[in-house]
Structure 1
Amino acid sequence: MTIAAEEAAFTLHVKCYAHTLNLAAQRALKITAVARLLGRVRRIVNFFRRSTTANHMLKEKQRLLQLPEHKLMTDVVTRWNSAHDMLERFLEQQPAICAALLSSEVRKTEKDLCTLTESDVTTAEEVVSALKPMKEATQYMSKEKTPTLSVIAPLQDTLIDGLKPIEGESAVIKEMKAAMSGDLQKRYIDLKATLHACSAMDPRFKSLPFPTENQRQEVYDGLIAEAQDQPMPSELSLWSVVEEGTGKCNGSADDEGMASEEETVDDGVRFKEGESSQGQHPPPRNPKPSCPLAALLGGERYGGGAQPKTNTQENQAKEQMTRYKEADLLEVKEDPLVWWKEHQYEYPLLSHLAKRYLCIPGTSVSSERVFSTAGDIVTAQRSALLPDHFDQIIFLNKNLKRM
């Protein structure tokens, strides 16, 4: 992937964060004490998967102990979270496993049985607890319908902070945390500025609590400079003007359904100048809505009025950034893309930056899923499938649910 990015001359290449989490977790799983624990659990799981007698006895013990009738899981070398799932399922079924291994039926067929001590079970519980944040982060980064690059910086800071040693932890867990924290800290050193800028454009993380105050201000200043250098689309400016007004010019007797210059409309009742239905003065006249033509041609040259203050694109960018920072934070569970769609006319310059930053995926999980799907479609029984038909099937498989 790195070579492909270099040959494609990408100016920005962010490595897969799910792979980064995988490398950090694998370092923790290679610790001697953890590797031995996994080996013992794996041996017990494989015994139940191999022996029909033991598997039958396990199901009986599950029903007697009122435990979920789940099958034991084994880990896969290429997926670190499968080790977490194996330990978690083993701990869930620990009472039934012990009861099945102590039964006379199982001991008749298998004499050399592997069991776990109380310290092993305690260590397994601590390992599952230590790996749980890494698994949850991996699951979130594997999503396809929400932006993921903006989440890398907050996740990185939270994970590293959560991997600090706690008083009373065992030596094994401290060693695991040190291995994972050390591996995470050496990643994305050269991309911190980009990741912070992307997080700043996400309304969920725009407060940027993880960098220092100087770094935070540098991120905001860089985004302002980037926003003021990009061209403002004319159609966006026009739409913002139209939405502020009513879509029609006021003050013309030729416009149907509009009050004339002598009349004021209030709650659907018309009054002449200085009159009301009770012979009293009418309520204060509401200001007339703006007109797109007046907004475009008015001012000093056309239409008279006071000369407007100079509002350069630099000032617009600063003003929009100020309002954006003062707005309420979006909840983490909400979709930032929906928020920007609703506020794109309120922050026109920043909304274009948001589109550029939030469209970058934080992982390569989506592309790897396409390869996995392709392997399921092209089989020995479908070897005559035409390339065009194959492309259409892949497209429908990945997009039909979104239509």
Structure 2
Amino acid sequence: MLYLLGGLKRGEGLAAASLTEDDMTLIQEVKLMSPLKVATTLLREEKVPTLSMIAPIQAKLHKHFSNEDSNLPVITEMKQWFREDFSGRYLQLKDLLHSAAALDPRCKDLAFLNDVDIRDLIFMKITTEVLKMNEKAGDSGTLNEGEAAEGGDNSPNTEEERDDASPKKKTALHQLFGEFLTTRAPLKTIREKAKDEILKYRERDSLHLTGDVLQWWKKQVDLPLLSALAKSYLSIPATSVSSERV
């Protein structure tokens, strides 16, 4: 078989290679199954294959088995079988897999999804998850520290409250130095902070495919909310079985 393939590669043609119909079928079967081997190799070679890889791999395989580029009945039948098998897998985990992929800086653009609205919806769901994560953690102390870092002391300014409550005639001090006084911007809610972080995250360059995802997130010190959620997703393994069984 290798001799026959070598003959084709050298351009000797079908006649010189003496390919039979069975040989052609075998060649197309090998070509058809090649992406499965690549996917298995990827999960095996990755130091820590995480859940974020499943959705892109599944989309790639689904596209591959959807192409109608063969006239051989056996190949058409195999593709149909794979499509039916894929359609029933991971349905209940679809949101989880999409969120995991979105939080992986290597594939955060979600290019494997053709619908832009679906991509935006995924990040909207991630915003909601950030809120739920903070509610479950009851991390009010940490949030206050973050707010203090951004906006200073959270305690209301008694003098400012009195000024707002009832307008008073400007004193000589206000008339002299009023133009130098600054008004502190209102503190953002957790939802607003989460949206800001997601916007920054989506605008950043994607990590190269061989990059260390967890190390990348450690460096994103200005994305504390999103980073915490990402680490919880990226700690989930892509598979719990050995690579030989993937």
TM-score (norm 2): 0.70
Q: How does 1:222-241 map to 2 (within 5 A)?
A: 222-231=125-134
Pairwise CA distance, 1:216: 2.4
The residue aligned with 1:360 is 236
| Pair 1:162–1:337, CA change in 2 (3 A) | same
What is the DSSP-based 3-state SS (H/G/I as helix, E as strand, rest coil) of the residue aligned with 1:132?
A: helix
Pairwise CA distance, 1:142: 3.1
Structure 2, unaligned runs of 5 or more: 7-17, 159-180
Q: Deviations over 1:193-230 (max 9, x none)?
A: 11111111111222223163443232211111121333
The residue aligned with 1:341 is 218
Match of 2:120, as an amino acid?
Q
1:193 aligns to 2:67 (yes or no):
no
User: What is the distance in 2 between the residues matched to 1:358 and 1:164?
Assistant: 29
The residue aligned with 2:120 is 217
Computing the radius of gyration from Cα coordinates, the structure with the larger value is 1
| Pair 1:132–1:240, CA change in 2 (3 A) | farther
The residue aligned with 1:133 is 35
User: What is the distance in 1 between the residues matched to 2:20 and 2:86?
Assistant: 32
User: What is the distance in 2 between the residues matched to 1:206 and 1:361?
Assistant: 18
User: What is the distance in 1 between the residues matched to 2:114 and 2:58?
Assistant: 12
What is the DSSP-based 3-state SS (H/G/I as helix, E as strand, rest coil) of the residue aligned with 2:226?
A: helix
The residue aligned with 1:153 is 55
Pairwise CA distance, 1:306: 2.6
RMSD over aligned Cα, in angstroms?
3.5
**Do 2:151 and 2:185's aligned partners in 1 also have CA atoms closer than 8 Å?**
no
User: What is the distance in 1 between the residues matched to 2:189 and 2:143?
Assistant: 16
| Pair 1:366–1:239, CA change in 2 (3 A) | farther
The residue aligned with 2:163 is none
**Do 1:299 and 1:307's aligned partners in 2 also have CA atoms closer than 8 Å?**
no
What is the DSSP-based 3-state SS (H/G/I as helix, E as strand, rest coil) of the residue aligned with 1:142?
A: helix
What is the DSSP-based 3-state SS (H/G/I as helix, E as strand, rest coil) of the residue aligned with 1:183?
A: helix
The residue aligned with 2:64 is 162
What is the DSSP-based 3-state SS (H/G/I as helix, E as strand, rest coil) of the residue aligned with 2:205?
A: coil
User: What is the distance in 1 between the residues matched to 2:116 and 2:188?
Assistant: 29
Query: How many percent identity over aligned positions?
Result: 33
Pairwise CA distance, 1:357: 0.6
**Do 2:99 and 2:122's aligned partners in 1 also have CA atoms closer than 8 Å?**
yes
Structure 1, unaligned runs of 5 or more: 1-90, 97-115, 242-291, 370-403
User: What is the distance in 2 between the residues matched to 1:358 and 1:154?
Assistant: 15
Count of residue correspondences: 207
Runs of at least 4 residues off by over 4 Å: 93-96, 232-241, 294-302, 366-369
Pairwise CA distance, 1:120: 2.2
TM-score (norm 1): 0.45
User: What is the distance in 2 between the residues matched to 1:350 and 1:166?
Assistant: 41
The residue aligned with 1:92 is 2
Pairwise CA distance, 1:173: 1.7
1:322 aligns to 2:225 (yes or no):
no
User: What is the distance in 2 between the residues matched to 1:310 and 1:298?
Assistant: 8
User: What is the distance in 2 between the residues matched to 1:167 and 1:219?
Assistant: 33
Match of 2:130, as an amino acid?
A
What is the DSSP-based 3-state SS (H/G/I as helix, E as strand, rest coil) of the residue aligned with 1:365?
A: coil
Pairwise CA distance, 1:318: 0.7
Match of 1:223, as an amino acid?
I
**Do 2:43 and 2:243's aligned partners in 1 also have CA atoms closer than 8 Å?**
no
| Pair 1:296–1:240, CA change in 2 (3 A) | closer
| Pair 1:331–1:240, CA change in 2 (3 A) | farther
**Do 1:142 and 1:363's aligned partners in 2 also have CA atoms closer than 8 Å?**
no
Relative contact order higher in (CA < 8 Å, ≥ 6 apart): 2
Q: How does 1:111-126 map to 2 (within 5 A)?
A: 118-126=20-28
**Do 1:146 and 1:335's aligned partners in 2 also have CA atoms closer than 8 Å?**
no
Q: Deviations over 1:40-92 (max 9, x none)?
A: xxxxxxxxxxxxxxxxxxxxxxxxxxxxxxxxxxxxxxxxxxxxxxxxxxx33
User: What is the distance in 2 between the residues matched to 1:299 and 1:233?
Assistant: 15
Pairwise CA distance, 1:151: 1.2
User: What is the distance in 2 between the residues matched to 1:221 and 1:310?
Assistant: 21
The residue aligned with 2:174 is none
Match of 1:336, as an amino acid?
V
1:182 aligns to 2:84 (yes or no):
yes
What is the DSSP-based 3-state SS (H/G/I as helix, E as strand, rest coil) of the residue aligned with 2:89?
A: coil
**Do 1:300 and 1:306's aligned partners in 2 also have CA atoms closer than 8 Å?**
no
User: What is the distance in 2 between the residues matched to 1:349 and 1:318?
Assistant: 10
**Do 1:208 and 1:216's aligned partners in 2 also have CA atoms closer than 8 Å?**
yes
Q: Deviations over 1:368-390 (max 9, x none)?
A: 99xxxxxxxxxxxxxxxxxxxxx
| Pair 1:240–1:126, CA change in 2 (3 A) | farther
Q: Deviations over 1:125-161 (max 9, x none)?
A: 2111110101111121234523431111111111111
The residue aligned with 2:166 is none
